[in-house]
Amino acid sequence: MKSRTNSTWGGRFSQAPDQLLRDFTESVSCDSRIAVQDILCSLAHAAMLHKQGILTRKEYTSIRKHLQNIHKEIVSGKLVWKTELEDVHMNIESELTRRTAAGAKLHTGRSRNDQVATDLKLWILDTSASLRGHIRLMQTALLLWAQRQGHFIMPGYTHLQRAQPILLAHHLLAYIEMLQRDIGRFLDCEKRTRSCPLGSGALAGSTLPLDRNHTAKELGFIDSNGRPLLTANSLDAVSDRDHAVEFLSACALCGIHISRLCEDLVLWSTSEFCFIRIGDAFTTGSSLMPQKKNPDIAELARGKTGRLIGNLVNLLVTLKALPLSYNRDLQEGKPPVFDSAETLSRTLQVLAAMIHNTNAIQSNCEAAASDPLLLATDVADELVRHGVPFRDAHHIVGAAVAYSEKNNCSLFNIPEQEAKKISPLLPKALSAANKPPKQQLKKRNMPGAPNPELVKKEILRWQKILASSSKESSSTLRASHTTRSN
Ligand code: ARG
């Protein structure tokens, strides 16, 4: 029996939905992105309904065959999405039912509420893993740069004022560390996303004998021992979007790290710093000023972080004060998730390519690091070695710096007599610290410091981590190809 109004829920309505309502409530223009996950969900649900004796073998086989065909048509872009069918779920179900009468039984014991929750979780699990791959690409680009030119000495900054000499590799490795924490955050998000809501129904499960363990296993919601992972409360299951918040938060923080890196790169590419040159193919010119070469990729990547943060706040505000359980507001939770994933993935890929095409200018980095004042702390440390309390040492070197500024001479060129007047130990301390910056760096021996030997070891450590993770991901890729072709 078909309703004249709406084939899905029109039974109790006497008027067809108004066009304004249809345009306002449709979501297929956006949620067709979870179509593949929706098909997977439906395949698992149908298999379970058959196992439970709710679908006959014939009905199940027909549903499976037609869902597989629809899947192919979605992937090849052949299937036409209809906004009048509201969302991706109703589009697929109505297409299935058009092809086989058994399609009308697929929604047994299921609601779009548990369906969309499951689809989105599957999508987040997939996308999070692929973003981790893109973060790896960025780490690799930074590491290759560190291997190429990491031995260049440059100033390290605090308050954007030259502070102490470091190695370029040390600076680049700092970003590799931040990105590693981002990978950890995505993994963490995946861990909590991995519990299957399917079978929670609209909000209170079903009176039919569904086997939730079976669908969870089919969809890969399992622990490391292959045991199914189920959501424990049906109200929570259909209204929970924590996984989307965690995903957006991981995207936003990764974006912030990228933005900080880009800020450094923009500064370094200015004539004022002139520490790096970005390859022509990765910079833009000005429509007016012929001399300009602008670091647009880095600027846009910095700018796009605003979207990533905005998307997180968008979802948080949508969720705030939503009563249990499902509310239509939740439909608004998807566009920010899709936008952040796409923004971050494109940003990581283009930036990695730009970094492969970026080089530091050794002479400029080293000239900036050769300022003797960058070794002022090292001089104070030398005084400490002679038993001077650090606070006093700080004052003594401060006075030496003031003398050198006043008399326009370098810290290491203060006449011995004058130095002695400041402190009898100062000439010794000055001569002990008056070494090329690289030699001074060798004195910094604790873990985490920019000692050239330690930095080399860090580069090797990262080389191993990145090599083993690329082996891992290519074997996962091989495994997933084998599974799919089976
Ligand atoms: N398009 C909806 C969404 O994305 C699907 C769930 C609709 N559920 C409902 N009870 N109207 O949230």
pLDDT, one tens digit per residue, over 227-238 is 999 999 999 999
pLDDT beyond 90 at 285: no
pLDDT beyond 80 at 479: no
Atom 5, ligand 1: residue with shortest CA distance: 112
- Model pTM score: 0.94
Residue partners of 31: CB distance under 8 A and separation at least 6: 87, 88, 116, 331, 334
Query: Which CATH number does the domain 113-368+462-485 belong to among 3.40.50.10490, 1.10.620.20, 1.20.200.10, 2.60.40.10?
Result: 1.20.200.10
149-166 residue pLDDT tens: 999 999 999 999 999 999
Pairing of strands 276-278, 358-360: antiparallel
| 29, 130, 286, 475: the active-site residue | 286
| 76, 159, 287, 363: the active-site residue | 159
Q: For residue 486, what pLDDT is reported?
A: 32
> Is 257 among the catalytic positions?
no
Q: For residue 292, what pLDDT is reported?
A: 79
Residue partners of 232: CB distance under 8 A and separation at least 6: 195
Percent of the chain residues topping a pLDDT of 70: 96
> If we measure between CA atoms, which residue out of 217, 274, 163 comes closest to residue 47?
217
Atom 3, ligand 1: residue with shortest CA distance: 331
Tokens of 329: 């507001």
Query: Which CATH number does the domain 371-441 belong to among 3.10.580.10, 1.10.40.30, 3.20.20.70, 3.40.50.1370?
Result: 1.10.40.30
> Is 50 among the catalytic positions?
no
- DSSP tag of 230: B
> If we measure between CA atoms, which residue out of 113, 118, 259 comes closest to residue 179?
259
How far apart CA 278 and CA 350 sit, in angstroms, is: 13
Give the C-alpha distances (Å, rounded to integers) separating 24 from 58, 80, 127, 271.
39, 20, 28, 51
Give the C-alpha distances (Å, rounded to integers) separating 104 from 43, 63, 69, 99.
14, 10, 17, 10
Which amino acid is it at 13?
Answer: F
Residue partners of 241: CB distance under 8 A and separation at least 6: 120, 315, 319, 330, 333
* Residue 72: alpha-carbon gap to chain centroid: 30
pLDDT beyond 80 at 113: yes
CATH 1.10.275.10 at 19-108, yes or no: yes
Cβ 54 vs Cβ 71: under 8 Å: no
Pocket of ligand 1 (CB under 6 A): 27, 31, 87, 112-113, 116, 326, 328, 330-331
Same fold: 113-368+462-485 with 371-441:
no
Q: What residue segments make up the domains of the chain, in order of their start?
A: 19-108, 113-368+462-485, 371-441
Tokens of 150: 């990491």
